[in-house]
Amino acid sequence: MAKIDKIKEQLNTLRVLLSLSVGLILGLGAGVSNLYDRKIFDIRFYLSIIAINLLIVVILYIGNKIRQKTDEIEKE
One DSSP character per residue, 45-63 reads HHHHHHHHHHHHHHHHHHH
If you ran DSSP here, which 8-state letter would residue 38 be given? T
Q: What is the pLDDT of residue 12?
A: 95
Reference 69, options 10, 15, 3; nearest CA is 10
Confidence of residue 30 (pLDDT cuts 50, 70, 90): very high
Q: Which of 31, 70, 64, 68 is nearest to 47 (CA)?
A: 31
How many other C-beta atoms are found inside a 10 Å radius of the C-beta of residue 21? 19
Q: Do 66 and 11 form a contact (C-beta atoms < 8 A)?
A: yes
pLDDT of residue 72: 87
